[in-house]
């Protein structure tokens, strides 16, 4: 497990038969581990904006999270406060066809 505050290693604390909490070995934070995505929340793809895989909310201001054309960012869903790892990929496709003389 990873600490959501500092990225340190989280360990369970307490007797082996009755573990009571988790604690970060780096900063001492208690029960502050990064929550892993639950089963059943697949990756989402949406051309209109970032869509939260937990609640389905689409962020209309998705372009504001990125500095360049392509990239990665970490954000918090403004609807359910889930922490999201997001990426933007831009691709351009050109097509051409012969114009038929009329």
27-71 pLDDT, tens digit each = 999 988 887 655 656 666 666 788 888 888 888 777 666 666 677
Task: Tell me, yes or no, whether 95 lies in a domain.
Answer: no
Question: Has residue 4 got a pLDDT over 60?
Answer: yes
Instruction: Name residues whose C-beta falls within 8 Å of residue 68's C-beta, 6 or more positions apart in sequence.
Output: none
Q: Are residues 70 and 56 in the same domain?
A: yes
> For residues 88 and 46, what is the distance between their CA atoms, to the nearest angstrom?
10
pTM comes to 0.45
Q: Are residues 75 and 46 in the same domain?
A: yes
Question: Has residue 12 got a pLDDT over 80?
Answer: yes
Task: Tell me, yes or no, whether 85 lies in a domain.
Answer: yes
Q: How would residue 6 be classed by pLDDT, with cut points 50, 70 and 90?
A: confident
Q: Are residues 29 and 41 in the same domain?
A: no
The radius of gyration of the chain's CA atoms, rounded to the nearest angstrom, is 21
Residue 58: closest CA among 38, 85, 78? 78
Task: Tell me, yes or no, whether 25 lies in a domain.
Answer: yes
> For residues 89 and 47, what is the distance between their CA atoms, to the nearest angstrom?
10
Domain enclosing residue 24, as ranges: 1-36
Q: Are residues 79 and 51 in the same domain?
A: yes
Q: Are residues 61 and 80 in the same domain?
A: yes
Query: Token pair for residue 95?
Result: 């097509």
Q: Are residues 82 and 50 in the same domain?
A: yes
The pLDDT score that the predictor gives to residue 46 is: 65
Count of domains observed in the chain? 2
């Amino acid at each position: 497990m990873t600490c959501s505050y500092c990225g340190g290693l989280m360990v369970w604390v307490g007797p082996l038969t009755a573990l009571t909490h988790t604690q970060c070995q780096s900063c001492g934070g208690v029960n502050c581990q990064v929550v892993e995505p639950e089963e059943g929340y697949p990756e989402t793809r949406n051309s209109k904006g970032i869509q939260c895989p937990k609640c389905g909310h689409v962020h209309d201001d998705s372009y504001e999270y990125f500095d360049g054309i392509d990239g990665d960012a970490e954000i918090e869903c403004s609807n359910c406060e889930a922490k999201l790892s997001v990426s933007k990929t831009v691709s351009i496709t050109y097509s051409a066809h012969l114009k038929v003389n009329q």
